[in-house]
Amino acid sequence: MKQINSYEVARRANVSRTVVSKVVNGSADKYRISRETQERVRAAIRDTGYTPDMIIRDMFLKRR
């Protein structure tokens, strides 16, 4: 089975990958992403079984 990534979630929710990231990281309200959009992203996450890759996330954050 193909691993689902944030690009696929964004495509299914009809949003950008950045919006998916903000919803996943819990900062959607800070960036004024509407509740409707947040719910579309969460629905796409549920439908696809997407789980963020924390190893890649940690590597990215350590480079900053």
Question: Domain 6-63 is in which class?
Answer: mainly alpha
pTM for this model (two decimals): 0.82
Query: 43-58: per-residue pLDDT in tens?
Result: 999 999 998 877 766 7
Closest CA to 21 of 50, 55, 59, 62: 50
CB 28 within 8 A of CB 22: yes
Higher-confidence residue of 3 and 21: namely 21
